[in-house]
Structures are given as structure tokens and as C-alpha cells.
Structure 1
């Protein structure tokens, strides 16, 4: 089990540390509810240094990214970030990821912690033209500063104009007197904010500077528990739950980042799926009866016949009701459709809604 660079700081802050994706990670410091609201209404900091980062360099770097990822990375410009995924050979997803273009010959890929080795091996197996690849995952600390007061907090620490940064762009520069830092207008909460990439040796200094800058806004450390409720309220997919090695990205609603203007791994199969239609879809639903949907609970029709399965579910702190995502037969995928969640032996009524749950 690996530890992240700021492990001791989290322990000192009273975090409950749990195994997650091969790392000991802070799941909460106070309560999931308090931490969730802190991010939605103010500002909070997640240490997500378990994520993986690869650097791809050379004149053929873009060609390799185009071959292994479904989105069209040729549309990127310097300082632009793109959400994408790696299709596998069997119609599923190796992983979802972010692609950062530093310049024409240098790209950064940010991948999920549980898939670092798998992703590296997969991309390397397609690296037939000598692209220089470097895995810097163990050398980087990643702090997600999220919430409506995130920009005001970080702006105190840098001369880079954060207000001018559009969503899914990044800048490299000096933050809190630390050089060679990347600030990215990205995040997994839907609450606005930034992600800060800093080398391990500067991580503690950066953490302290961010908390000093955010003190007037009531800044708090936030754990993985609140990260999950925040991402689910926005309908963001979680790898291992909503998308997996065996789930079709077209069924999972990733058609918007699947660009058939180029050839990529398994693109012909996915193109046929998109043209011919799929038999099931990933949907969001809200509970009409009281109850909390959980991963792998059955989704049923009114007679109790199974029509699908919950992939993610929780009690929404913002809406104060149960919400979830799951795969259902296509005919049950329209917003307003009633369905039932099987909780033990009870059928609890729910309704398909358009994502995100929280606008």
C-alpha cells in the first residue's frame, strides 16, 4: 500500500485514512456532509496525489494519443485540456483521462490511480514510433482546490490571471513562490475551481500557503467521501463503477468525446454502435420513495422484473434525497420514466432525470 507525499499532514489533521486504489487516502476529516457543503458553498482542498501522470514527448506524440484515445486531440492548442478515454479491443474502456497539451511535441496524460500500470502498459504497447514516455506519477503532488472561493484563494498566491482562464485550460508558472507549478481550471466536483500540480518536495509548502490564503473563506481539507457525493451530483462517471473494461462508452453516454473524424482503437465497432443504436443506456435517477440506492442494486419495472443495475448511488447532501446512476434497457432511459430500485426485498420508486442532478 503506497502513501501520498502529505500523508503525515492528513493524519495530524485527524483524517480517517483508508486503502483506496492501492494508496492510503484521507476519506474524511470531520464529516462527509460538512465537507460537501464546504466545497459547494466556499472552498475546500482535496489531496488527490494518487492520480497518475504521464509525459509524452516527440514529433509523434500526438499520433500516439490519437491512436489510443477516442477524442480528437488534434483540436488542442497550447494550454488546453481535453477529457477523453482509452477504448480497449473488446468494446469497453481501459480508462478515462485528461489530455494536456503543453506544446506541439509535449503532452501530459492524467489517469486514474487504480489504472496507472494498466494504462502505461496499454499506451506503451501502441507506442510503435518511438515516442518518449515518462511516468512521473510518484514525483507529483496534486491538490484540487475546489469551490466558488477557489479562485479568490489561489489568486493571492500567483501573478497569473486566474479569472482569465477558461474551463479546461492550464498555465505553468510560479505559485506561492514555488516555480514550475501547473494550475489547471479543472476538477471533479462541478463546484468550480482549480487543480494544482506541484513536485513532491514543494507539496507541504504549497499546502500551507493555500490554507493560509483561504483562511478568510473558511477553507477546509476535504476527503474522498465528499468527493464522491460532489461528483455524483454532477453526473460525472467514476471508473470502476459507471465505466469499466466491459462497459460500452456509447452506452455510458461518452459519445460526445468519441470522434469518428479519425481512426482509433476499436473505432469501427464503436461507430457501428453509435449508428445502429444501443440496447441499454446509463441514466441518472432520483428517488421518489425514501431510500439510498447503492452500487449493484437491481433496477426493476413496476412488476419487479429486472431492467438494469445501479452503478453509483448516494444520499445527495444538496437535494436531500437519494440519487443514482445506472444502466437500464433503452426503453426506460427517457427522463420522467418511473423505475424501481430493489433494496433488500422492497421495490422503491424512482424517476429518470436529466443529468446533472445539481445544476
Structure 2
């Protein structure tokens, strides 16, 4: 896999997996992120072709458990497993990213293979991205063990990288007003719904009219990250934006529309998920406790909400400084 520039300065992406090769030239002005996205699309395309080829010459792995079963064969079990996941294409992308490293490697050497994957990927991908790919390999190996394809769960020996990818970016209502000046009506509605409810992008995309009650908005269990139903009170400012539900754009349309809006607004650093964090920030600034915020955001425990504790401390500090700012040194016991 490689991303390179030609003499004219255009980005090119070349992907080669198990003898299959694909090459594309990126559009003029494409960014590094665009090239990586194209790289993953090519990997996924080749992976699907490899799956088709594997079906033609399928090997019945369930007959005998062997430590020497090829990892590529084991990964076929995961590809089949993705069909029951909520986001099968995303799961397949993460799996496809590491397929080149699995070539000619038996299952018993999975731990060493994972170490090579980490060594080669570090510096090119974020730890969280690498971990998602490692997670597909771990799951594939566990499936192989459960189905008696391999004699033990080799995936249990693979360890994920430590992640330090928490973002602490919060925007104000004024900034949201400015941002939405550059967005379409559908994107504007999604932005305000995210800020006023703390909902994730995927949850907003999947909302339908039946989810909107007289006083509460229901996020169905199948649409939440925790797989648990969540209800959110409908406040006055939110109601007008719920009129746009269901949105007239899909998830890719929202991603593209939001990216264009933030770039035009000079806020290219902003992620859609930051709106969810900003909802929590605004609630904290209004005196709402962490437990209530965790219920609004749909966290399974308050531990997830504790990332906002520093905002609470800052608000307390500002309140205390304001309250005691008029005290003189003498009143404080000074000389």
C-alpha cells in the first residue's frame, strides 16, 4: 500500500493484496485524509474480490482444528460475522486494512503478526485506528477457536495500543450560529439537534417521525452505541429542528455537508462529535450535575461523563474567585 505524488504534484494511491492490484489518481487538491479514504475504499474493493475468489475455492475449516490454519482463512470467518453487525462496511474496512500482513501467516503466529502490523502502521495511523484493525483480528481468532478451527484462542495474546485520543473541544451557541450560516437546512438541523440533545451523528440520521413524542424524543435501542433505549426531553429550541426529521440526507451526505460548512466557516478543526461534547459543556455551565448529563448523553455509567469534570472544577473556581474577590488581605487574615 502506498500514497505518493507524481511530478505534477497529484496524489496517487496504489494498493496490492495477494496478487491483486489497484491504482487511482486522487482528484486535484485532494488532501492526505482524502487519499487515506480512497486507500481504504480500494482495500475494501480488493477484499470483496478476494472473498469472491475464496468462495470459489472454499476450504471447510470446521473439519479439523489446526494451529497452521492461514490467518487469511481465519479472517474469512470475521468477514462472514460482519453481516450481522450494525455497520458491516465499516467493520470490513478495518479488517481489510491489515489483510496484506496476514499473507502466508499461520494462526499460531498471530501475536508476532500483530506486532508487525503495529510497527508498520505506527506513524501512519492513529492508535485508535490501529486498534480497530487489531480488534477485527482478535475477533476472527476468537470465532475460529469457538468453531474448533484452531486449537486455542490466539487472539487473546494480542494487545491493543494505549489510546490518548480524548478531545476537549467545545463550542458556544454563538459559534454554532456562525457555523450554520454556511450549511444547508438539513445539515443545520442536524447540528442543532446534536447540540440540543447530545445525540451522535448516527443516532440523528436514523431518527424517524415516530420517535418524536409530545414531550420526549426517543432514541431506539438499535440506534444507540450502548444498544439501550434512551429518551431525551424536548425543549423549546429543539422542537423547530425536529420538523426536519427524518433528514433528507444520508450519513455520507451529512459528513460532506458538515465538512464543507466548517471549512467555509474557518473551523476545519471542528468534528461533528464535538457538538455532543459541547452539549455537556453547556449543561455543566448551567449547573447540571454529572449524573444528569450522563443520562442525557446515554452513557452506561458516569465514568464516561467524568471526562467533563475539569469543566465543573473550572466553573467552581470562577464562582469562588468572583465570590471572594472583594475580600481584602486583612479580612483574609493577612497583615
TM-score, L = length of structure 2: 0.26
Determine which structure has more spread, i.e. the larger CA radius of gyration. 2
Higher RCO, Cα 8 Å, sep 6+: 1
TM-score, L = length of structure 1: 0.24
Q: Greater strand share, 1 or 2? A: 1
